[in-house]
Amino acid sequence: MSKREQGFTLIELMIVVAIIAIIASIAIPNLLSARLNANESAAIATLKNISSGQSQCQASSVIDVNGNGAGEYGFFGELSGRVNVRAGTQSITPPVLSQAFGNIDANSCVARSGYLFRMFLPDSAQAGLMETPTTGGDPGNTLGVDPGQAETLWCCYAWPQVQGNSGKRSFFINQAGDVLATTHNAGTNVYGGTTVPLYGAAFRGTANNSMGATVAANATARDGNRWTVVN
């Protein structure tokens, strides 16, 4: 009598495949959610580091275009030491932010952990100006940043590189030091990739016309989204 050949039956294989599919359907969404949460937490921590770096920069008066002894806030290119400060002949040494923030792209953004970050400094009318694309900063002092306004105003936004994939929420911080977040649920502007917030998006009012306006903490902002303070 011949030995029965050993192996899995078709039904057994189908059961194994079904079990693997069930496990995957549970595990994969959890892994994606964990990655989103990690990226968002990293973005919040990065904005707080940026705020600390701006405070150091302003307090040191290393940027003082008008020569009045009151320090000014800087762009990423300046804070990272990549380029000379505005109207200056030297860079910030040691830099107040990681040199990774000197990697400015063609849209004046810095990419970190699935998020894009963009810094704004004010002109004489308190409108937000972006730093020089690719090279960063404004070493030639040609963008129109107003020295007096830059002594008190700056703001920075962070939004997902791929909305829903690398993150869901978008974030904001300015000289006040509070991180604001929006889930976009209350408005029509969903930020991700090249769909970006304008400089006045998180402020109160109806127009993007002043960085000196009150931020929309726990309220609906100019962009139609509700921005809430992150604890």
* pLDDT tens track for 55-89: 999 999 999 999 999 999 999 999 999 999 999 99
Using CA atoms, how far apart are residues 185 and 163, in angstroms rounded to an integer? 13
Per-residue buried b or exposed e for 57-92, using 16+ beta carbons within 10 Å of the residue's own CB: bbeeebbbbeeeeebbbbbbbbbbbbbbbbbbeebb
CA dihedral 118, 132, 77, 170 (to 10 degrees): 0
Listed in sequence order, the residues at least 6 apart from 159 whose beta carbon sits closer than 8 Å to its beta carbon are 115, 116, 167, 170, 171, 191, 192, 196, 197
End-to-end Cα, the chain, rounded Å: 75
- pLDDT tens digits for 145-193? 999 999 999 999 999 999 989 999 999 999 999 999 998 765 678 999 9
Using pLDDT thresholds of 50, 70 and 90, give the confidence band for residue 35.
confident
Report which DSSP code applies to 132. P
Using CA atoms, how far apart are residues 113 and 49, in angstroms rounded to an integer? 14
What is the arithmetic mean of pLDDT over 194-215?
Answer: 90
Using CA atoms, how far apart are residues 94 and 224, in angstroms rounded to an integer? 40
Dihedral sign for Cα atoms in the order 193, 198, 201, 202: positive
Q: Which residue has the tokens 């303070």?
A: 229
pLDDT for the residue numbered 34: 78
Using pLDDT thresholds of 50, 70 and 90, give the confidence band for residue 30.
low
Count the helix, strand and coil residues of the chain and give each as a percent rounded to the nearest 5: 25, 15, 55
Using CA atoms, how far apart are residues 31 and 139, in angstroms rounded to an integer? 43
Q: pTM of the entire structure?
A: 0.86
Assign 17 to helix, strand or coil: helix
What is the arithmetic mean of pLDDT over 1-27?
Answer: 71
- pLDDT tens digits for 94-132? 999 999 999 999 999 999 999 999 999 999 999 999 999
